[in-house]
Amino acid sequence: MSKKLQQKEYVIKIPVFTSDRIERTDHIFSGITYQEFINNAKSKIEKHNKNESSVTSDKRNKIIKREIGNIQIIENSFDTTPYLLLKISAYNTNLEGCLITPSEIHQLENNDKIGSENNFVMLYPKIIGTEKQSIFWVILVYDDPKKDSYDIISTAKLVLTKILNQPIKSVKLPAVLKEIKENKILPQIKMQLNAISFDESTVNPKFEKYRTNSKLTRKEEYDFLNMPFKEIEELIRSPFNEFKQRIIKLIVSKKEYKITQEHKADAQHGFNDLVEQIFNMSTIIYEDELEKLYENDFVTLKLKTVLEHYLKNGDE
């Protein structure tokens, strides 16, 4: 038996996104090159690294914040096109009340930070057209086995949105439904419903007088297969009044449309849809490769393999 087959396997997930497109029609930007696009991004990152003010976002439904620290820039090329590998320091803050226990318990304060310096994101530039140009990034996120998927993806989104000013592309829901209908696709469907309540209590009435606060969370998850298009459309449009948020994932092979729906402030006016297109790629590594998990060359090799596959098969 091969030594590899005797080892434990680990999966590195590599979700692939694209950014919003910048459309250039004026003469000032006509004919921008890949290197100029790369240099513009590097300039923004270097400005962030010199800036003392932090870039943060709230973690969903929590007081804890996600903060971006220093970003190391590694520039290389794929064939003749330059790209950037970003090694991002990112932390969770506002951790008052949390504990860490190396040899003794240490209670964290609000200004303490817990995070990692090994958050890798590859930015590969795409330029379509010459005088009239459409410019965007292909974004590959290195979601290794030691990372929380939400944290690493939110880190990538935070850098794209608040530092590079070119957020992850959102897709129009009608366009997604049209694609599914025209291609006669029956996707795998995953649905998650989330609710939070701060004023309800299921505690025994005997103890109610001692209660100072309460928080009830509710999550329901469902999987569907072979659902006809008409029912898919009906599911997406159906109300979810008991819940604050609904996430519906339409999955066809490696492509995923993630539809996040939340009620508008005025509940009578329905809910908002945020639709993201994701290509869910992954690669297998073995136990003896874990020591190389954060080496730049190792990370680059794994991401470039996925990039090559995406450029041959992904949608633009």
pLDDT tens, 46-76?
999 998 667 776 655 555 678 899 999 999 9
| Cβ–Cβ < 8 Å for 78, 300 | no
The beta strands (E) that lie in the chain are given as 9-18, 22-24, 55-58, 65-78, 81-93, 99-100, 106-107, 114-128, 133-141, 188-197, 216-224, 245-252, 255-263, 271-286
Instruction: Tell me the pLDDT band of 7, cut-offs 50, 70 and 90.
Output: confident
Pick the more confident residue, 269 or 41.
Answer: 41
pTM, entire model: 0.82
Rounded alpha-carbon distances, angstroms, from residue 314 to 129, 141, 174, 177, 252: 19, 16, 20, 19, 12
Residue 131 binned pLDDT confidence (cut-offs 50, 70, 90): confident
pLDDT exceeds cutoff 60 at 97:
no
How does residue 316 score in pLDDT terms, banded at 50, 70 and 90?
A: low
pLDDT of 19 above 80: yes
Instruction: Find where tokens 């958050």 sit.
Output: 119
Count CA within 13 A, CB hemisphere, residue 88: 30
CA angle 103, 104, 107 (to 5 degrees): 135
pLDDT tens figures, 241-274: 889 999 999 999 889 999 999 987 665 567 889 9
Is 60 exceeded by the pLDDT of residue 98?
Answer: no
**194, pLDDT greater than 90:** yes
pLDDT confidence tier of residue 111, bands split at 50, 70 and 90: low
- Spatial distance between the Cα atoms of 142 and 90, rounded to a whole number of angstroms: 14
